[in-house]
Structure 1
Amino acid sequence: MKKAPQLNQLRELITSLDNELLTLLSKRRMLSIEVARSKESDIRPIRDTTREKELLARLVQQGRDQGLDAHYVLSLYHTIIEDSVLNQQAYLQGQANPENRKHRTSVAYLGARGSYSFLAATRYCQRRQIEMQDIGCASFDEIANAVESGHADFGFLPIENTSSGSINEVFDLLQHTNLAIVGETTIDVGHCLLAKPDSKLEDIKTLYAHPQPISQCSRYLAQNGHYKLQYCSSSAEAMEQVQHGDHTVAAIGSAEGGALYGLDSLEEGLANQKVNRTRFIVVARKAIDVPEQVPAKTTLIMATGQKPGALVDTLLVLKAHNINMSKLESRPIAGTPWEEMFYLDVDANIASTNMQRALKELERIARFIKVLGCYASETVQPTRLEPGQLLIEPDSSKRAKQQTAPKADARHSRRFKSTITEVRIGQTLVGENNFASFAQMPIEWFNDSFSAHAMALKEAGFQGVIVTNNDSNVVDDSKLTKLCQQLSQAGLEAIIAIEQSQELAVLQEYASALLIPGKQMFNKSLLTTLGSSSLPVLLERNTMASESEWLASAEIFLQAGNQQLILCESGVRNFNHPEALAVDLTSLVNIRQQSHLPVIVNLSYSGANREALAIAASKLCASGVVLDALDDIETSQTLLPELYQLRS
């Protein structure tokens, strides 16, 4: 009985501290706006990464002195810095476009209040401190018409999702509109099972949902196949149906939106991916100016025509002008069979000299090109500290000495060998003029019914399976034996990930090839050991490694004697989508120019656009692709034949 007052007292102290924290965060945000005002006149960049690095290093050390974990401190301050950067961008953007500064702005979005589009529009307007007059629409076309006719100032269109990929209807709409993209925003999508108060999960028989959430929650729905699905035009309509229904119906939507309709959440976290985000673009009748100190994106559409290397030529233009391409999407051109329109997001301001020069060159080599808009980028990459500062890798300075810049005549270079190396994995050839396709799966997926899945992978066109070990535990020999036997019976090569040198003696008995995971890319001992073996090896790029570091690791392997090496590009870390990696197609082009080693592209970690990225990788002369053994098996049945045809 004596503990209750003490607990209440502690809770009161915590509440008091929380109030103080909120007050301090508010003051810090106001100061960040004052910082933006000071940058108006002298055109200084919004971000000073050197100062951010010094700030974070100091805060991490101070946190350690007070018993706080370094990653805890970094997580908090990455969020605070992101908020500061986005608020400064919004302020400067408003100052550069005074004609758009309205106290009340009409916004068109999909569905009604409570839909994800409504939530995205609300947050976008709140950051810019403008009152939103909302206009719910029944379709994407209706949103575009509302803006074109002047009934709405802005339109919000979802463009891609980390789970279900690109929203093709929106890409097709952008081909036929004169609207300009003037902004972007990304929101977390937390899918819940929403029902009327006092409803019970076991009583639910019918689910209302928009097709996108249904796609994003496919695994949950497969596990609960007794639900009858009813498709709706938006998540808001789905919630409205439940609001007027009985206790046997539910909707898939956000808890925040469900609260507007008086619905309770029966289950949360329904999406296939734990981190599920949707990116929206903001369209308006007129383009805007982006201040030069604000990080900008430019989106354009382009048709290259059907001639060998046409897409590669355009990407080389961007490379020549030091412009990074952050997105590439292809869509068919209506009325022109077998031709495609490419959508590109590049990290550049349309007004910059480099971008203007690049556009002039692209206009000369492309059959059609149109700029859809230039706008402030809301992708705020966290400032990274050195591993040694996080006490993760104390010998990072030694690693830096080991990974020296490769010489021009190094074993991996084009000067050492002018033609692409051909590597044989069992009966599969990789490199030269051969294109290979592999599926990737964690060994934890393996069960007694895997044999049928292995046959399905073979029928879909895969030639082998990359087996990873997500738990990092010692794999049971009998389990590995059964898995490899079933892969062999299906005619599939087994490529097994290896983490430590001592695993080689066991794994070489089962594997046709081995994979060095990206996190082991700097492991010199493992590189040397496998370089002394006779098995083919795939070297996966570390998510934070540069191209030169990747090739330096390859050189360590090759110098040990084994020349059967394949480079595997799996993507670089995308801090806005922690569970997904951004595939670096620019690096594919660069590595192909520098090295004779075959390069395959692993898309199994990519959250979206896998089909388009696979096609782009094939056109950029990748030696193969890796897809997810579970999620991509259906799409591979039509995708893989297309990829083989492109390379034939």
Structure 2
Amino acid sequence: MSQKEQFKQLRDRIDKIDDQLLGLLNERADCALAIGAVKETTAGAVVYRPEREAQILRRVIKASAGPLTPTQITGIYREIISACRSGEEKPKVAVLGPVGTYSEMAAVKHFGQEVAIEFETGIEEVFRSVETGDTDYGVVPVENSTEGGIAITLDCLVITSLRICGEIDLRIRHALIGKGAEAFGMVKVVRAHPQALAQCRKWLDRHLPNAERVPMASNAVAADEAARDACSVAIAAPEAAEHYGLAVLHRNIEDQTGNTTRFLIIGRQCLSGSGYDKTSLILSAHGRDAPGSLQRLLAPLATHEINMTSLQSRPSKTGLWEYVFFLDFEGHQEETLVSRALADIQKESALFKVLGSYPRSL
């Protein structure tokens, strides 16, 4: 068989498989629409069910024999789920704007392309948009693997009535973007969100030591400013360059390889368990001078053999050198051991607030 004949045979096979896939995808969409029709008769039913979607993704990843990788399968199925979900309704999701922020990228990574993105001017405004019902969900950064916790998000979590509905891990690849390659020698100002400036500190020290570093509300705002000023450049995602008519001058300028930001999905619903969940709490101890107070708060996790994944602190703003703690651990609050640990922790806490149980990031 000639090479041309081999290609034709294989391409014909691909065409047949595509026809089968198309039929199955439409059949799946019909099922999703039927589920939506049943939901319309059910009080309190919601379109977006993160625990169910997480179960689907983990099941298909486990069932796959390759050659597609888990990351590729996740990306494909998120878009299938997104398209089928949109037959019922597109979720309205608030993110830090404008166009081109990592928050937008995180939202699309999780919800897929079929989502109605609403851009807000700040993280507090994202919380407010969801609290008032203007949007269904919000996506906010909570911690970075290089720079740690995002203070404004943690502070908002203390006072909000919203719940955490999910998390997204987004690999952050910073680029230096500007008007053109010739602009690099003219740079007088580097603009970016404070976190981005901090994550690229060493690179900037080596390559642009004399440029002024100006913090901005978001990297996308920085890109917009760089588009107006030939002597200004921005740190942003490479994807932002095209939107703002800029060139990518240097890629991957972050100081730490593997630089990743964790985002939270905030909303108003309580979730059932998915089987692979995480629970988040806010705590404070009785009396900051009491020896071993923090140890007593955390001891129930060890007693009930629960794995803690994160511990952060912020000033309580109610007294000098008093702190609240943000705690994440594996498990769902409806699980027996987790429920017992929560009860024991609450006994030792001055402040005790469950932010939610939600599927772990994929």
> Given that residues 325 and 346 in structure 1 are in contact (C-alpha distance below 8 angstroms), is that contact kept between their aligned partners in structure 2?
yes
Paired residue type of 2:282: I
Which position in structure 2 is the counterpart of 1:339?
322
Shift of residue 277, structure 1, vs aligned partner: 1.3
Which position in structure 2 is the counterpart of 1:79?
71
Find the aligned partners of 1:314 and 1:47 in 2 and give their Cα distance.
36
Paired residue type of 1:179: L
Deviation sequence 1:123-159 (CA, Å, 0-9, x none): 2220xx6x33222222221111111111121111101
> Given that residues 107 and 153 in structure 1 are in contact (C-alpha distance below 8 angstroms), is that contact kept between their aligned partners in structure 2?
yes
Q: 2:220 aligns with which of 217, 232, 236?
A: 236
Change beyond 3 A, Cα 1:302–1:209: same
> Given that residues 298 and 350 in structure 1 are in contact (C-alpha distance below 8 angstroms), is that contact kept between their aligned partners in structure 2?
yes
Change beyond 3 A, Cα 1:167–1:353: same
Q: 1:161 aligns with which of 144, 164, 182?
A: 144
Change beyond 3 A, Cα 1:219–1:315: same
Deviation sequence 1:30-53 (CA, Å, 0-9, x none): 89x98xx9xx8xx9994599x77x
> Given that residues 160 and 278 in structure 1 are in contact (C-alpha distance below 8 angstroms), is that contact kept between their aligned partners in structure 2?
yes
Which position in structure 2 is the counterpart of 1:279?
262
> Given that residues 124 and 152 in structure 2 are in contact (C-alpha distance below 8 angstroms), is that contact kept between their aligned partners in structure 1?
no
Matching of residue 304 in structure 1 with residue 304 in structure 2: no
Higher relative contact order (CA 8 A, sep 6+): 2
The TM-score with structure 2 as length reference comes to 0.78
For residues 82-93 of structure 1, the aligned pairs below 5 Å read: 87=78
> Given that residues 274 and 359 in structure 2 are in contact (C-alpha distance below 8 angstroms), is that contact kept between their aligned partners in structure 1?
no
Q: 1:105 aligns with which of 86, 91, 113?
A: 91
SS at 1:239's partner residue? helix
> Given that residues 110 and 139 in structure 1 are in contact (C-alpha distance below 8 angstroms), is that contact kept between their aligned partners in structure 2?
yes
Which position in structure 2 is the counterpart of 1:116?
102
Paired residue type of 1:358: A
Q: Which protein is bigger by CA-based radius of gyration?
A: 1
Find the aligned partners of 1:296 and 1:311 in 2 and give their Cα distance.
24
Deviation sequence 1:214-261 (CA, Å, 0-9, x none): 000000111121212222111111111122223x22111111122111
Find the aligned partners of 1:204 and 1:353 in 2 and give their Cα distance.
59
Which position in structure 1 is the counterpart of 2:45?
none
Paired residue type of 1:117: S
Find the aligned partners of 2:152 and 2:340 in 1 and give their Cα distance.
31
SS at 1:104's partner residue? coil
RMSD over aligned Cα atoms: 3.8
Change beyond 3 A, Cα 1:255–1:340: same
Matching of residue 314 in structure 1 with residue 297 in structure 2: yes
Paired residue type of 1:262: G
Shift of residue 78, structure 1, vs aligned partner: 4.5
Which position in structure 2 is the counterpart of 1:366?
349
Find the aligned partners of 2:74 and 2:56 in 1 and give their Cα distance.
18
More divergent stretch after superposition (343-352 vs 302-311): 302-311
> Given that residues 162 and 278 in structure 1 are in contact (C-alpha distance below 8 angstroms), is that contact kept between their aligned partners in structure 2?
yes
Which position in structure 1 is the counterpart of 2:240?
257
> Given that residues 46 and 294 in structure 1 are in contact (C-alpha distance below 8 angstroms), is that contact kept between their aligned partners in structure 2?
no
Deviation sequence 1:250-279 (CA, Å, 0-9, x none): 111111122111211011111111221111
For residues 118-133 of structure 1, the aligned pairs below 5 Å read: 118-126=104-112, 131-133=114-116
> Given that residues 287 and 373 in structure 1 are in contact (C-alpha distance below 8 angstroms), is that contact kept between their aligned partners in structure 2?
no
What are the ranges of 5 or more consecutive residues in structure 2 without an aligned counterpart? 33-51
Shift of residue 197, structure 1, vs aligned partner: 4.0
Find the aligned partners of 1:335 and 1:304 in 2 and give their Cα distance.
13
Which position in structure 2 is the counterpart of 1:289?
271
Length, aligned pairs only: 325
Shift of residue 105, structure 1, vs aligned partner: 2.3
Which position in structure 1 is the counterpart of 2:187?
204
Change beyond 3 A, Cα 1:77–1:125: closer
Change beyond 3 A, Cα 1:368–1:200: closer
> Given that residues 189 and 214 in structure 2 are in contact (C-alpha distance below 8 angstroms), is that contact kept between their aligned partners in structure 1?
yes
Matching of residue 180 in structure 1 with residue 166 in structure 2: no
Paired residue type of 1:328: L
Find the aligned partners of 2:87 and 2:311 in 1 and give their Cα distance.
32
Shift of residue 199, structure 1, vs aligned partner: 3.7
Percent identity, please: 29
SS at 1:344's partner residue? strand
Matching of residue 193 in structure 1 with residue 185 in structure 2: no
The TM-score with structure 1 as length reference comes to 0.45
Find the aligned partners of 1:101 and 1:161 in 2 and give their Cα distance.
35
What are the ranges of 5 or more consecutive residues in structure 1 without an aligned counterpart? 1-8, 60-72, 380-648
Paired residue type of 1:112: P
Find the aligned partners of 1:359 and 1:258 in 2 and give their Cα distance.
46
> Given that residues 46 and 293 in structure 1 are in contact (C-alpha distance below 8 angstroms), is that contact kept between their aligned partners in structure 2?
no
Deviation sequence 1:92-124 (CA, Å, 0-9, x none): x9x9xx9x9952222221120111111112222
